[in-house]
Amino acid sequence: MTKKYGRQLLIIFLAMIIVTGTLLPQSLSTVNADSVGKIWIGTNETTTYPTINAAVNAASEGDVIHISGTFDNGAAAVKNSTVNKPVTLDIAGNTTITGDGSANGITLSNKAKLQAGGNTLRMSKFKTALTVQAGSSVNDGIYNLDGNEIGFSLDKYAKLEGTARDKLKVSAMESTGKGFSYTTDSRFIRCNVTVQAKNELSEQYAGLYMTDSSLTTRGVWYYFDPAGGNGGVHLDHSDFYVYKAKGSSNYRQCFSLLGGESELKNGSTMTGDGSRITVSAKLTVNDSKVVIKNSSDGGLNINYKPGEVVFNDSTLETTNMRYTPSYGTGQSNGPCYLTFTGSSVVNTDAKDKTADNGGANRGTGSTYVVTGGSFLVAPGGL
């Protein structure tokens, strides 16, 4: 080969690299679609919008607004967004939205829906990252709402609703405020939710309704008072796990059930970790489990009239209990009632004759009735 032809081939080769990029590694020759933020409607990706609000204004009922990529430097395209039409906001690719701490993120209203499918939406540095108002819902996807004052807020008749528990995952960890909020009329349906209030001072009072869902919280104290219109705890094939909040000396228990009826059913589990569960209302446990762990302040504390707990074909389980009994009725006043029926089970560590036992204060007219089941307690119990 002559030098003349060699130079010509080299020039052609370099031109192919510059024009097509086909001979360069992909990471150098193409632009990742998720490397910058993009907002569009339907299948028309050539027409994009500078903000979610602009896309909502252009959308019609039933449209799908897609969002994908990275929105940072205060996330002007996203902050204080309101999706207030019956449209779907679709997370079309893994999306990261970083605010500046001065504003809220996305609000869904008027039957708007949010979906991510198998993608992940990350939102941080917002006052409230995601607000879901009446009639709107969050559907399948992975929603990482960590590092906000409030990760998500469910207003009246708002829902977290997936097609399966492992298809809808919501995280509101490392929250600088209360972490999350909901109302008695909010619903958790087929979802997996974790919440952490870093200041350990989040307080929740509304009734909790869960279906085939899991909710685990840290730094959150609950005071369920249905007499005040707040609905109690209602778990249907669901798991509710509460780590005791430590931000105030008033938080003596993991949570309290007051003033009206609560129910666990269909294989549900309710767990208090770090202190007792206080019941001053009626709690019915059907084919489900109540668990108290790592407490030196008592276990299932049915302590104030008209407190009543009924276990039917269900389990009461305690572990690592210290100083005070794992369960009891009417210690302060009564009458209060504890009843085990069917194939119910009580399991303790069976080591400490005080902490791994329970009973009733007959002096307040309280009772502890067993009509079936089996009991593993410390010697001298029952």
Structural domain spans, the chain = 1-30, 200-382
Give the residue carrying structure tokens 């002007």.
Answer: 76
pLDDT 10s digits, 273-286: 999 999 999 999 99
Residues pairing with 277 in the sheet: 255, 300
- Under the banding of pLDDT at 50, 70 and 90, the label for residue 36 is confident
Cα 122 to the chain's mean position, in Å?
15
Report the distance separating Cα 284 and Cα 264, nearest Å: 6
- Under the banding of pLDDT at 50, 70 and 90, the label for residue 229 is low
Give pLDDT, residue 191: 98
- Looking at every residue in the chain, the average pLDDT score rounds to 90
Six token digits for residue 261: 């009826």
Q: Is the pLDDT of residue 64 over 90?
A: yes
- Residue % of the chain over a pLDDT of 90: 83
Give pLDDT, residue 227: 64
Give pLDDT, residue 200: 97
pLDDT, mean of residues 294-318:
96
- Under the banding of pLDDT at 50, 70 and 90, the label for residue 373 is confident
Cα 23 to the chain's mean position, in Å?
48
- Residue % of the chain over a pLDDT of 70: 89
Six token digits for residue 82: 């309101």
Q: Is the pLDDT of residue 202 over 60?
A: yes
Residues pairing with 122 in the sheet: 96, 144
Report whether 177 contacts 197 (CB < 8 A): yes
**Closest listed residue to residue 115, CA positions, set 146, 136, 84:** 136
Q: Is the pLDDT of residue 185 over 90?
A: yes
Q: Is the pLDDT of residue 7 over 50?
A: no
Q: Is the pLDDT of residue 382 over 60?
A: no
The CA dihedral of 59, 64, 69, 71, to the nearest 10 degrees, is 40
Report whether 130 contacts 159 (CB < 8 A): no
Report the distance separating Cα 280 and Cα 229, nearest Å: 15
Other beta carbons less than 10 A from residue 337's beta carbon: 21
Q: Beta strands of 28-110 (E only): which ranges?
A: 38-41, 44-48, 64-71, 81-83, 88-98, 106-108
